[in-house]
Amino acid sequence: MPSCQRSTRDVAAEITDLIIRKIEEGVPPWSRPWRVQGGGGRPLRHSGAPYAGINTLYLWALGDAQGYRSRYWMTRRQAQALGGDVRRGEAGAVSVYYSTFRKQETNPDTGRSVDRNIRFLRHYIVFNADQIDGLPAHFHSVDAPEQPIALSRRQTQIDRFFEAIPALVRHGGSQAYFTPTFDYIQLPSRSAFQTMDHYASTRCHETIHWSGHADRLARTFGKRFGDNAYAFEELVAEIGAGLCCADLGLPNVLHEGHASYVGHWLNILRGDKSAIIHAAAKAEQAFAYLRSFSAPAAAVEHRSVQSAMPIAA
Whether residues 139 and 156 share a domain: the answer is no
Whether residues 156 and 245 share a domain: the answer is yes
Whether residues 141 and 212 share a domain: the answer is no
Whether residues 243 and 215 share a domain: the answer is yes
Q: Are 279 and 236 in contact (CB under 8 A)?
A: yes
Point out the least confidently predicted range of 7-11, 184-188, 263-267. Answer: 7-11
Using the predicted structure, report yes or no on whether residue 167 has a pLDDT greater than 60: yes
Alpha-carbon dihedral angle through residues 237, 241, 244, 247, given to the nearest 10 degrees? -140
Whether residues 223 and 305 share a domain: the answer is yes
φ, ψ (nearest 5 deg) of residue 145 = -55, 135
pLDDT digits (tens, 9 = 90+) for 84-119: 999 999 999 988 876 666 777 777 777 777 777 777
Q: Which of 147, 180, 211 is the last residue of a domain?
A: 147
Using the predicted structure, report yes or no on whether residue 271 has a pLDDT greater than 90: no
Q: What is the pLDDT of residue 99?
A: 65
pLDDT digits (tens, 9 = 90+) for 217-251: 999 875 555 567 878 898 899 899 999 988 988 87
Q: For the stretch 8-24, what's the b/e string if a residue is b when 16 or more beta carbons lie within 10 angstroms of its beta carbon?
A: eeebbebbbebbbebbe
Whether residues 139 and 205 share a domain: the answer is no
The terminus-to-terminus CA distance of the chain in angstroms comes to: 8
Q: What is the pLDDT of residue 223?
A: 53
Using the predicted structure, report yes or no on whether residue 32 has a pLDDT greater than 60: no
Instruction: List helix spans (H) across the chain.
Output: 11-24, 33-36, 54-66, 76-81, 152-163, 196-211, 222-225, 229-248, 262-271, 275-292
Q: What is the pLDDT of residue 153?
A: 65
Whether residues 119 and 196 share a domain: the answer is no
Using the predicted structure, report yes or no on whether residue 309 has a pLDDT greater than 50: no
- How many folded domains does the chain comprise? 2
Confidence class of residue 296 from pLDDT cuts 50, 70 and 90? low
C-alpha distances in angstroms, 185 versus 18, 56, 179, 238, 256? Answer: 33, 27, 7, 16, 18
Whether residues 35 and 133 share a domain: the answer is yes
Q: What is the pLDDT of residue 31?
A: 65
Whether residues 200 and 141 share a domain: the answer is no
In one letter, which amino acid is 87? R
Q: Are 121 and 98 in contact (CB under 8 A)?
A: yes
Q: Which of 85, 116, 147 is the last residue of a domain?
A: 147
Angle subtended at Cα 109 by Cα 103 and Cα 113, rounded to the nearest 5 degrees: 30
Point out the least confidently predicted range of 26-40, 185-199, 212-226. Answer: 26-40
State the chain's mean pLDDT as an integer.
80
Whether residues 127 and 196 share a domain: the answer is no
The fraction of the chain above a pLDDT of 90, given in percent, is: 35
Quote the longest CA-to-CA distance of the chain.
71
Q: What is the pLDDT of residue 253?
A: 61
Query: Domain range spanning residue 45?
Result: 1-147
* pTM higher than the cut 0.75: no
Give the separation between CA 132 and CA 91, rounded to whole angstroms.
11
Beta strands (DSSP E) in 73-212 are 73-74, 85-86, 93-106, 113-128, 132-133, 169-171, 177-179, 184-187
Whether residues 141 and 155 share a domain: the answer is no
Mean pLDDT of the region 42-55: 91
Q: Which of 121, 147, 173 is the last residue of a domain?
A: 147
Q: Which residues, listed in sequence order, are joined to residue 114 by a DSSP beta bridge?
A: 105
Whether residues 161 and 306 share a domain: the answer is yes
pLDDT digits (tens, 9 = 90+) for 125-157: 999 999 999 999 999 877 655 554 445 467 888
